[in-house]
Amino acid sequence: MVMNHRNKLIISLILALIAIIKPINCDCSTNVSRKSFPKGFVFGTASSAYQYEGAVKEDGRGPSVWDTFAHKFGKVIDFSNADVANDHYHKYLEDVKLMKDMGVDAYRFSISWTRIFPNGTGQINQAGVDHYNNLINALLTNGIQPYVTMYHWDTPQALEDAYKSWLSPQIINDFGVYAETLYQKFGDRVKHWITLNEPHTVASQGYDIGIFAPGRCSILLHLFCRAGNSATEPYIVAHHLLLAHGTAVDIYRRKYQRKQRGSIGAALDVMWYEPETNTTENIEAAQRAQDFQLGWFLDPLMFGDYPASMRQRVGDRLPKFTAAESALLKGSLDFVGINHYTTYYARNNKTDIIGILLNDALADSGTVTSPFGHDGKPIGERANSIWLYIVPRGMRELMNYIKNKYGNPMVIITENGMDDGNNIFRSLNDSLKDEKRIRYYTGYLENLAAAIKEDGCNVKGYFAWSFLDNWEWAAGYTSRFGLYYVDYQNNQKRYAKNSVQWFKNFFAC
């Protein structure tokens, strides 16, 4: 048969396309991959401004409470700070290229409040707006959707100085102004907003035991903190955080959501709790532990009030919502963000001697939680952090709990991951061999897939923590959560760990 010119041209084009398409080097032997999840399921990585950006005094950024806290002696285990961190502020274009190469759909990052408002309120800092515009545009150019967290713990120091920040209701309005500014500047491109990251951690770690900024507590007569009241302040702070969230959501829904067509939620930290033994008192204790963790924040956002167990056990120390505030909060989530890392045992606290001595909110649940069972054995293999044990089944159990208690709302796993230690004697080559991390992700993603496909849980996205090794709050640089290794001694150079290739395979299969 004689080919005409048109057929020759078509064949030439096909051959040219074949020549430029590179085969995907993909190991699909794993039991879980992208195909294990529904069509349209979003996969991404996560970060936070203070842990990543550095450049703390550049381009008009104001100080946050974490700048102040990290520079106080003895507050960070390795005496480090996040003045440079990963230098993501300058290296974001390089990092976006790495994300694209890895194959993620989305990137969750937080905006530094003090880059937008150096004093927490008042004059807008245009240089900060320009930076986040550039980051958002770079992500979209590379096919990566931005998921933006408004507040990831870095409260403006100016607001702390002016009125003790989250202890005052004044911060609710200031947060609302900040949130609306973000909608105005970025909402034409940002379609996924997260108001707060882990408000439970802010209240408990920052105002109960004082190991996080701003470092307030009253444990053992202020032996560890110069100021604070561990019995009352955590509840006041949590109350204001919730109302700030509700205010930000109300502004978005009334003025911006219809035009910008985005969604808005909050990211809540959640351990799963298993009863230490299958007794009534320990089953009830596990439920109380969950009430004082997830329920503390999700119950008001879903039902308009705190859990009944909190009302009963905390009494007048637990603030009350007005009818208008309850209405503001109820239903103020388009999705529930869940930061989940580990599972603990829970048992009834029969003799609350420690709670009486410390007089702190952590004792109010009447529950003791621990990674060790009554036989002294750990619940799972430990990661580097003393609190993080690898218990993949907890992911499935937690998703079913949320489905059953809260009516199967849309859930996005906004953080999940594990850390290795920063061993200065380990070679770079060995540090990149993170097989334990690969086992962690395999187990947790298998259980998440089962919760969706077999149990009908309404989960729509998953973000691995973290894209890069980072400054890990009070643990400083002793903890490495990243998929990419960051060489802090060599200009923060990035190196792909084996888990990066694992995720590439995961996405490609």
Under 8 Å between Cβ of 380 and 394? no
Q: Is the pTM of this model over 0.85?
A: yes
Q: pLDDT digit string (tens) for 237-251?
A: 999 999 999 999 999
* Alpha carbon 153 to its chain's center: 11
Residue 20 belongs to a domain = no
Q: Determine the structural domain holding residue 399 and report its residue range.
A: 41-508
Instruction: Give the pLDDT score at 282.
Output: 97
Residue 434 belongs to a domain = yes
DSSP string over 266-322: EEEE--EEEESSSSHHHHHHHHHHHIIIIIHHHHHHHHSS--HHHHHHHGGGS----
* Alpha carbon 233 to its chain's center: 23
Query: Which residues are within 8 A (CB) of 315 and not within 5 positions of it... i.e. 6 or more apart?
Result: none
Instruction: Give the pLDDT score at 220.
Output: 73
Residue 10 belongs to a domain = no
Backbone angles phi, psi at 459, to 5 degrees: -105, 130
3-state secondary structure of 85: coil
The verdict on whether 397 is a catalytic residue reads: no
Query: Pick the catalytic residue: 160, 198, 233, 276?
Result: 198
Torsion angle, alpha carbons of 399, 405, 407, 409, to 10 = -40
Residue 475 belongs to a domain = yes
Under 8 Å between Cβ of 147 and 106? yes
- CA proximity to 346, closest of 365, 319, 330: 365
Instruction: Give the pLDDT score at 11.
Output: 47
Residue 435 belongs to a domain = yes
Residue 33 belongs to a domain = no
Residue 24 belongs to a domain = no
Instruction: Give the pLDDT score at 362.
Output: 72
Q: pLDDT digit string (tens) for 416-433?
A: 999 999 998 999 999 999
Under the phi-then-psi rule, with left for phi > 0, alpha for psi from -120 to 50, and beta for the rest, what region is 360?
A: beta
DSSP string over 126-160: HHHHHHHHHHHHHHHHTT-EEEEEEESS--BHHHH
Q: How far is the C-alpha of 120 from the C-alpha of 32, rounded, in Å?
A: 44
Q: How many structural domains comprise the chain?
A: 1
Residue 461 belongs to a domain = yes
Measured on CA atoms in the order 123, 126, 128, 134, is the torsion positive or negative?
Answer: positive
| H or E element at residue 258 | helix 257-260
Which residues of the chain are modeled with pLDDT < 50? 1-3, 11, 14-24, 356-357
Instruction: Give the pLDDT score at 9.
Output: 52
Instruction: Give the pLDDT score at 386.
Output: 96
- CA proximity to 225, closest of 198, 203, 240, 206: 206
The verdict on whether 454 is a catalytic residue reads: no
Query: Pick the catalytic residue: 160, 276, 325, 415?
Result: 415
Instruction: Give the pLDDT score at 24.
Output: 44
CATH number at residue 227: 3.20.20.80
